[in-house]
Chains A and B, each alone.
Chain A
Amino acid sequence: MNNTFYIQRYAHISDHEVSLNGETLYENTTDDFSEFIKGAYQHLQIDYSKFFKMDNLSKLAFIAADVLLENESENNIGLVFSNKASSLDTDRKHQESLQTYASPAVFVYTLPNICLGEISIKHKLYSENGFFIFDKFNAQALHTYANSLLQEDKAEKMLCGWVDFDNGNYDAFLYVVAKKGTFVHSTTEINRLYQIK
């Protein structure tokens, strides 16, 4: 059983910036998330019309995953994501809509794991999905869960991290774990890479 895994690459979306392995891919000073993420989508030349139907959390997760999986050939990639606000941004919209009428197109996004489905559809990933909610970034839980799936051969690679959207604030940090890579897969390294912004 192989117990050593590596982080191959990582992406951040926060503070008006999309970055891959610490290098800026896209910047925009706007404070409006919709405008920012649409700008990123256009700049990265992602041609995928379903993007425009997604809620804010899914758009955030989708772009961060796309940056990491653009040239990935492996499709047995397990997904384990986490955040603090779950799908509250869309939950509030659905709750407000109850004054008039509820829309299925909004309601379906009142679950945080929908973004995992969006990513799975785009990248044809018929693989493990899990969405956890923590008070703050929890490297230990992500590290333990990824190791378990890799060691049990339930995934060849893992796409892990944090995607949070709440009251207009956004923070995404995703990374790919594999049998070969640049950084040792440890909680120390995960925390260090999370804090590089």
Chain B
Amino acid sequence: MHNTYLSHNNIVSAYGFETSTAIDQISNEVSGLKLVDDHSILPNPFYSSCIDHHLLEERYQQLNPQEKHTRLEKMFLVSLADTISKANIAITDRVGLIISTTKGNIDILNTTEFSEDRTYLSELGKKIASFFSFKNDTIVLSNACVSGVLAIAVAKRFISQQLYDHVFIVGGDLVSEFILSGFNSFQALSAEPCRPYCKTRTGINIGEVATSILVTNDQSNLAKEAVSVLGESSCNDANHISGPSRTGEGLHRSIEIAKKQAHLTAKDIDFISAHGTATQFNDEMEAIAFNRSGLEKTPINSLKGYFGHTLGASGLLETIIGMHSLHQNTLFKSLGFQELGVSKPLNIIENTQKLAIKTFLKTASGFGGCNTAAIFQKVG
């Protein structure tokens, strides 16, 4: 079977409009989270990382758009334009497009600027596909907070079935009243910058990015930070729709299947880019699952302290940062962590440090009891 590679990529975030700007800031341990006081989103101030409106508009106008787009569409177009340009691949019928999002253009439910049709995720898919003249219908994946990493697995599976040779994935969700009020109703939001796995953690921050990547079976013209996808799996907890399993069942099973497919054992994994939302139950569940998989000594970080939880983008965003981590032989600090606050041991990365590394595990878990694990390795 052919290998599948993750290659050229882009991150549009509070840090800027390229992957490199985000990586530079993360290397310097700078958080993108800021206190936001916007009553149209939430009555109380909240920590979030948001993309600058004016700078986004500037970048979007440079694409010379011929019709009106929503804020999320602008984010997607700006991100994908950069990735497509770097990939330098002709958009033929062998090229697919996957959108990873939980809520798409849900913010326009409450406005009159766009027709209600635009709230349908398939319409979002059409707008993005037509802008870049994709030949195939867009595949929209909406699978809660595992969407971003599951989208990579989906791209790989469509490529291995020879439906496509290349797939572009773009992922993102907005920081909106719809989302914030929902997480607030679960009392899941932290009033401070989040502290994954920490004893003093009090919940999540929601953040905003658009991120995109080329997934390909072609080993030529790969990005310098390219990785191959060695194994991936997505298992349900079969336990509860809004609470993670107390035994970490689905996550543990996902990791085991991914390891088996990759022909690797726990000791072959150099670090874990975990989900780490900083809610009590999620982080505890992860600690149990990682211990069951023999990964308690493996260096681990959560990147939520930099971006917050970016929902449908998070798994893809954090995979891209993991690729750069491998390329730079650098483990990035799990920002916000002070003292272990889960019942099982974990080897939290407390300081950004150089280390020769070649393989990492990415995990995510979400509502509906879903979990995904994927293992990536440096090319060459």
Contact = CB atoms under 8 A, between A and B. Distances in A.
The answer to whether A and B belong to the same complex is yes
Contacts of B239: 121
Contact of A145 (B157, B233, B240, B370): B157
Contact of B137 (A92, A114, A138, A152): A138
A133 interface: yes
Q: Count chain A CB atoms within 10 A of each CB in B150, B238, B241 and give the residue with the most.
A: B241
B305 to A, nearest CB: 25
B369 A117 contact: yes
B130 to A, nearest CB: 13
B179 to A, nearest CB: 9
Interface stretch (A36-44, A102-110, A188-196): A102-110
A174 interface: no
Contacts of A197: none
A85 interface: yes
Contacts of B250: 126
A107 B144 CA distance: 12
B16 interface: no
Contact of A141 (B119, B120, B139, B241): B139
Interface string A63-88: 00000000000000001000011101
14 contacts: A86-B104, A91-B178, A94-B182, A95-B109, A95-B110, A104-B182, A111-B102, A120-B237, A127-B236, A134-B122, A135-B122, A145-B154, A149-B157, A152-B160
A116 interface: yes
A171 interface: no
Contacts of A133: 120-122, 125, 140-142
Give the size range of A's interface with the partner.
35 or more
Contacts, number: 157
A56 interface: no
A111 B366 CA distance: 10
A154 interface: yes
Interface in A12-46: none
A104 B120 contact: no
Contacts of A94: 178, 182
The A interface, classified by DSSP as helix, strand, loop or mixed, is: mixed
A120 B142 contact: no
B150 A130 contact: yes
Interface in A145-175: 145, 147-149, 152, 154
A50 B261 CA distance: 36
Contacts of B144: 111, 113-114
Given A104-B185, A130-B150, A132-B141, A117 B109 contact: no
Given A86-B142, A95-B110, A130 B154 contact: yes
